[in-house]
């Protein structure tokens, strides 16, 4: 970084109303609770946004405290590389990692991908999520989104065959991926996979609970299966090779873009396909993940489309096409 002034750190919890409700197998929510980190030096401020996730034992308050706990280290010269060892993988490190990279780009007058030696992001197609509900409710939501080329369907266990059949009827031309969020069991796994195969689902995400997914290595998988809750960073990859065909890389799990980029390279070397995913959050959380899109078979960065309103200067969405961020937003 070019300025000699020590950086200043600020962070806060933000709440973003969701358009309607977002429902998965673990429950429903009507707002996205995010934590914003800002690292400033001189007239420049780098920003990063994260989503603390209760599934991983995170709270907004603890995440905020973890971010603020690095203030002294940042003033002493903590950079992105040192940050990887200073905080564990997770939401807090993600916000700081992305904020530091954003600041570095602003101070240097270069785009983040140029600093990292990565390809310039291009517009790409993102999945659009259909929340879990009754087959009738999901069919009605799908009918409104049937022109979108890629739909991600949230499932919940019992009755999922009826749900996915109802969705397919309303979106005969869309590519479908489904996400069970750990809700299937050994008793219904093969039946639900067969139901997905019958309607041409391309990918099934996290059917069994993390740590209880060994059965996936012992059955025929008629549809490709993607790890989400079972995979966090590079250390997670090796033991999943026999169980999964793809992995979902989310910056809130990896602890930022720095680890996510390294993880994508390692995963591809092991033969995994890549999904780049997100939590429900604003465009500021999506923007860094755009640097992974060119390596991904599936891009799932629709978080802002699920909100009642996005951050000012957010990403441009044209239907299901999402465009790279402007410098004022990030990077």
Which residues are designated catalytic? 154, 250
CB-based contacts of 97, cutoff 8 Å, min separation 6: 48, 80, 83, 84, 251, 255, 256, 257, 258, 259
**Separation in Å, CA 261 to CA 240, 268, 299:** 19, 11, 15
CB atoms within 10 A of CB 46: 25
User: 52 and 62 in contact (C-beta within 8 Å)?
Assistant: yes
DSSP secondary structure code for residue 307 in this structure = B
Written as six digits, the tokens of 288 are: 């860094």
Q: How far is CA 180 from CA 5, 17, 26, 153, 174, in A?
A: 48, 24, 10, 8, 19
Tell me, rounded to whole angstroms, the distance of Cα 35 from its chain centroid.
Answer: 15
DSSP output for 261-288: HHHHHHHHHTT-EEEE---S--HHHHGG
Q: What b/e sequence results for 111-143 when a residue is b if at least 16 CB atoms lie within 10 Å of its CB, and e otherwise?
A: bbbeebebeebeebbbbbbbbbbebeebbebbe
* Whole-Å CA distances, 262 to 9, 114, 116, 246, 273: 26, 16, 12, 16, 14
Give 331's contacts (C-beta < 8 A, 6+ positions apart).
Answer: 101, 102, 105, 111, 112, 113, 287, 288, 291, 325
Quick one: DSSP state of residue 181?
T
């Amino acid at each position: 970084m070019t300025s000699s002034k020590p950086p200043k750190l600020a962070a806060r919890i933000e709440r973003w109303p969701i358009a309607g409700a977002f429902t998965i197998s673990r429950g429903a929510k009507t707002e996205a609770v995010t934590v914003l980190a800002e690292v400033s030096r001189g007239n420049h401020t780098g920003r990063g946004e994260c989503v603390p996730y209760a599934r991983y034992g995170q709270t907004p308050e603890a995440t905020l405290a973890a971010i603020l706990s690095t203030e002294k280290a940042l003033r002493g010269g903590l950079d992105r590389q040192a940050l990887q060892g200073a905080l564990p993988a997770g939401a807090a490190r993600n916000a700081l990692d992305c904020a530091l990279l954003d600041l570095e780009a602003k101070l240097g007058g270069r785009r983040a991908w140029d600093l990292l030696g990565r390809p310039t992001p291009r517009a790409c197609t993102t999945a659009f999520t259909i929340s879990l509900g009754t087959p009738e409710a999901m069919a009605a939501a799908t009918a409104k989104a049937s022109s979108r080329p890629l739909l991600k369907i949230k499932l919940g266990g019992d009755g999922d065959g009826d749900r996915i059949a109802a969705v397919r009827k309303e979106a005969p031309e869309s590519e479908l991926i489904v996400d069970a969020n750990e809700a299937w069991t050994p008793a219904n796994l093969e039946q639900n996979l067969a139901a997905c195969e019958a309607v041409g689902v391309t990918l099934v995400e996290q059917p069994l609970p993390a740590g209880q997914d060994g059965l996936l290595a012992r059955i025929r998988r008629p549809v490709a299966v993607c790890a989400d809750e079972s995979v966090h960073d590079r250390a997670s990859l090796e033991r999943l090779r026999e169980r999964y065909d793809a992995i979902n890389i989310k910056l809130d799990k990896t602890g930022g873009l720095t680890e996510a980029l390294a993880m994508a390279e390692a995963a591809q070397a092991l033969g995994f396909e890549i999904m780049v995913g997100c939590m429900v959050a604003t465009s500021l959380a999506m923007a860094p993940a755009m640097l992974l899109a060119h390596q991904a078979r599936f891009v799932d960065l629709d978080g802002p489309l699920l909100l009642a309103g996005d951050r000012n200067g957010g990403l441009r969405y044209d239907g299901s096409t999402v465009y790279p961020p402007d410098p004022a937003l990030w990077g």
